[in-house]
Amino acid sequence: MLSNYYKKKLDELLAHCRANISTSKFDENLIAKAFKFSVDAHRNDKRASGEPYFSHPYEVAVILATEIPLDDVLIASALLHDVVEDTKFELKDIKAEFGNQVAEIVDGATKIDGIFENYELQQVESYKKLLLSMTSDIRVMLIKFADRLHNLRTLEFLSNPKQMRMAQETLEIYAPFAHRFGLSKVKTELEDLSFKYIDRKSYDEIAKNLKEKKRERERFIKKFIQPIKEKLQEQGLKFEVYGRAKHLYSIYKKIKTRNKNFDEIYDLFAIRIIIDSANKNDCFIAYGICSEIYLPVPERFKDYISIPKQNGYQSIHTTLVSKEGKMVEVQIRTREMHEIAEKGVAAHWKYKENTTITDKHIEDWMKWIRETLEAQSSDEMPKDLMESFKLNLYQDEIYCFTPKGDLKILPAGATALDFAFEIHTQVGMTCIGAKVDGKIVTLDTKLHSGSQVEIITSKTQAPKRDWEMFVVTHKAKSDIRKFFNIEKRKTAEAGRETWEKKVKKFKIHVNEDDLVRLTHKLKYKDLSAFYYEIGKYESVADEVINILKDKNKLHQIEYKQTLTEQVQTELFHKFIKDARASTDGIMFKNGFDNNELQGLQYSFAKCCNPIPGDEVIGFVTKTEGIKIHRKNCNNVVNLFLHHQDRILEVKWNDSGMGEFTGGIKLIGEDRAGILNELTNAISKKFKTNIKSVVINTRGSIFEGTLILSIRNLKQLNDIIETLNKQQGIFSATRLYEVDH
């Protein structure tokens, strides 16, 4: 029997289901049965917050019932999704109680068990299982969205490394997945919650700025939309129009990509016009009205109604210039388009009332996933496969056409060579160039929406090693890798034949096990790598045969290798232990305390160039002592994910004395005397040494870098602020990768 508390919770869940799920797809008894089963299964379990564990599957079910309302099977499966993973019950028990469909969804949502070489490999295998399960039933992925969203809402109860890992994973996988499924609202919350833990300082700063300017923004939006509302009413259209601030993570990305500060980003808010009509032409009427009242920015008009995005998203996007000169993004869509944009596949399900859960866009994408996984070659690294999936998830798209008018949808940043591989593998392999809108371009030329692309091929062309560096689509990368893997196997086979001839000629007798051990000592990954090296350089075979003929040389190699590995391992583990015991959150020298850390080597990472004032951490390396990174350095995220045991909590001491190197990137107008003006402004006001200046000009624009001796972050920011005020400077921003 359920207690009064749980009866109330069940009633609340059923109320959400009644409000959002069609009665034809909703069996209250199934949900009530799953609710009771889950309560009983998790009765003795607790979350990290101390709450009963059942609160988690319950909240996951509520999120689905309100944000992604599909059917009763989805809600029941959500209530049961952790039962197999965390309780005594097995999958066969779920199958016996609820049938094959629910059991398969629960199995798909259950993490991979077992022992793996490392965390990364386990994650890759879990993703592959998730992808394969999803292609059978899309509800597996919907549960994972809700599961991840609730976990992020309660992330404060986990340790810092786990917070970082989950937040980064969400930005790389789950948020783009949600975008692909058209779940705009879920994707936005996933991004903002992740951003909060990855860069709390920037998160708080943007949130504060938005809050401070809320009234000013609301007054502006009210004034902006009033004439639009009046004109739409005159046309007899039924509509809803409102303004909204962009979400925090999207503002953060704008600030980063445009190298601007908050006050310089004008399109921080958008106007949304939702037309209550089934006629999509009414959206174009509304656009015409907006364009009559305010000046539109032509290059920022996008028609996603005529050509929807691959996730089914439809809307008109335009940017209008207000009477005050501010740019405002406007989105125009029908009510059905709006619900599909917010709730994605669930809204398709609601409107189409059909028997299949997916639509054409989702089905095509899942077909791509299935074919990609099935076609994965043995030499393709799991990490490479996941990187391709991540890339495919980010759905900034471009629309290009063949000379015959066939549409090709590619990810933003795709090149002419990507387009060639999209047509056919063989076209890509023999591509030597392309014509874009009639002009001949190189293979690495990035394409833009609306371009007509004609591929130029040659029978004598073959893939080049550097192709993989600039193509972005999985198909192009995979086809290029396959070509070179085949070439590598041919070279290795030729090397094996050479080796066998050599050992036969010199009458050397060595079995395969002994040869494997020797090649391993000589730092070859495996026999295939050894044969490949011989295929490239026949002299390698002669060198190894000389070692096999000379027993003393063989013994020296084995002894030296064993001793070196043993000593390195012991010293490295001792170093980590000593460093952890000594630092305890305090670093040393050049602005760090130095009481207990005599003899420990450290240096500052060049990837992010930390200076006093930056939040920092230490990482124990194998050969370079302790590396100091900024906490929001991109490389630190990977360190948190894969090497938590080597992370040190560190901080600057109060004095922060010492000379550090700071870099500034400049873009400005190329005119006589500007460099002299800049260096004088820095030298006179800040009394700092300019270590180097590098300037490149392109037409009337210059780009350059200044490398300075600075004391701390405040001084560097003051210098940047001063430079940004100089006449002729378009932008001055911090340069993170600096040679010391």
Which are the catalytic amino acids?
85-86
| Spatial distance between the Cα atoms of 320 and 648, rounded to a whole number of angstroms | 50
| Spatial distance between the Cα atoms of 477 and 388, rounded to a whole number of angstroms | 8
Does residue 228 contact residue 289 with C-beta atoms inside 8 Å?
Answer: yes
Query: How open is the CA angle 571-165-64, to the nearest 5 degrees?
Result: 160
| Residue-by-residue DSSP string for 312-368 | ----EEEEEE-TTS-EEEEEEEEHHHHHHHHHHHHHHHHHH--S-S--HHHHHHHHH
- Residue 683 host element (H or E): helix 674-686
Q: Residue 330 forms beta bridges with which residues?
A: 271, 318
| Spatial distance between the Cα atoms of 630 and 373, rounded to a whole number of angstroms | 37
Residue 546 has a CB neighbour count (10 Å cut-off) of 11
- Do the strands 239-245 and 295-296 form a parallel or antiparallel pair, or are they unpaired? unpaired
| Spatial distance between the Cα atoms of 221 and 241, rounded to a whole number of angstroms | 10
Between the CA of residue 179 and those of 175, 210, 338, 667, 692, what are the distances in Å? 6, 24, 14, 34, 44
Does residue 268 contact residue 245 with C-beta atoms inside 8 Å?
Answer: yes
| Spatial distance between the Cα atoms of 61 and 77, rounded to a whole number of angstroms | 8
DSSP state of 631: T
| Residue-by-residue DSSP string for 538-603 | THHHHHHHHHHH-HHHHHHHHHHHHHHHHHHHHHHHHHHHHHHHHHTT---BTTB--SS-TT--EE
Does residue 575 contact residue 624 with C-beta atoms inside 8 Å?
Answer: no
The count of residues in the chain is 740
> Closest Cα to residue 276, out of 345, 188, 367, 338?
338
